[in-house]
């Protein structure tokens, strides 16, 4: 059974960097696509970006320039860094595994989510 | 605004059939996937590809596609199906991923 678990600070100051880690068990991180998705309180889901098993990345254009996703295969983890955060970045952050085919890209396993608050 | 459009809210009587739709130009080229999210829980994949259900998803959930619209149908809705439902797909460029705004399903 694949399991994902987010970890990291629940409180970040404005203008600082949000850093989260996702630990994967039950699957090797050396396959599939590894994603970050967020959900502001009371709002919908927003895809942040992914890193593939080969290390290639793809980010939401609205966040490009502020976001970096990296892979640590030795720990079976992947991480998110989001710089210059504002109140608009406050959300529940999910990590998720995705599968990609020519016609479909879907998130088949999700972490439980971690709430990040932005406040001084 | 999202490239995928969903009705904000839909209701269905217990045991009846309901269709939740997702519209977007990219759906002419890609399938929508569907997720169920209950309060204070992570989303759960319920439909992917042409009409595939992950293990453990009841067969009352099904998916279909026509033109620029993807649909999730629940045949014989149950009280436990009350949740928010999100679609996702690639965007029109094919390079990025997008979610619909979500549909809140109420089972009456």
Helix (H, G, I), strand (E, B) or coil at B36: strand
B1 — pLDDT class (breaks 50, 70, 90)? low
B31 min Cα distance to partner chain A (Å): 5
pLDDT tens column, A34-87: 999 999 999 999 999 999 988 999 999 999 899 999 999 999 999 999 999 999
| Backbone dihedral angles phi then psi of residue A111, each to the nearest 5 degrees | -75, 175
Closest CA to A50 of A73, A30, A68: A68
**Section A88-100 average pLDDT:** 97
Q: Report CA dihedral (A104, B22, A3, B94) to the nearest 10 degrees.
A: 30
**Chain A residues in contact with chain B using a Cβ-Cβ cutoff of 8 Å:** 35, 44-47, 50, 58, 60-61, 94, 99, 101, 103-108, 110-113
Instruction: Look at B43 and A110 and tell me if their CB atoms are within 8 Å.
Output: yes
Rounded distance, CA B31 to CA B71, Å? 10
CB B33 within 8 A of CB B48: yes
Tokens of A107: 């998130």
Closest CA to A80 of A38, A26, A108, A28: A38
B95 — pLDDT class (breaks 50, 70, 90)? confident
Contacts of A104 in chain B (CB under 8 A): 30-31, 33, 48-49, 89
Q: What is the mean pLDDT of chain B?
A: 96
pLDDT tens column, B8-54: 999 999 999 999 999 999 999 999 999 999 999 999 999 999 999 99
Residue A94 has pLDDT above 90, yes or no: yes
């Amino acid at each position: 059974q694949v399991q994902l678990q987010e970890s990291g600070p629940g409180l970040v100051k404005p203008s600082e960097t949000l850093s989260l880690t996702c630990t994967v068990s039950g699957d090797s991180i050396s396959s599939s696509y590894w994603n970050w998705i967020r959900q502001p309180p009371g709002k919908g889901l927003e895809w942040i970006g992914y890193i593939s098993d080969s290390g290639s990345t793809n980010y939401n254009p609205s966040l490009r320039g502020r976001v970096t996703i990296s892979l640590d295969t030795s720990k079976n983890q992947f991480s998110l860094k989001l710089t210059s955060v504002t109140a608009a970045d406050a959300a529940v952050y999910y990590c998720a595994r995705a599968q990609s085919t020519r016609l479909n890209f879907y998130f088949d396993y999700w972490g439980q989510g971690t709430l990040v608050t932005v406040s001084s | 605004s999202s490239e995928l459009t969903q009705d904000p809210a839909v209701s269905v009587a217990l045991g009846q059939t309901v269709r939740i739709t997702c519209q977007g130009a990219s759906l002419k080229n890609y399938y929508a996937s569907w997720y169920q999210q209950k309060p204070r829980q992570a989303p759960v994949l319920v439909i992917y590809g042409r009409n595939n259900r992950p293990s453990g998803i009841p067969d009352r959930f099904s998916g279909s596609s026509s033109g620029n619209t993807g649909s999730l149908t629940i045949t014989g809705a149950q009280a436990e199906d009350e949740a928010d439902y999100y679609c996702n797909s690639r965007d029109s460029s094919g390079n990025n991923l997008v979610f619909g705004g979500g549909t809140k399903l109420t089972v009456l």
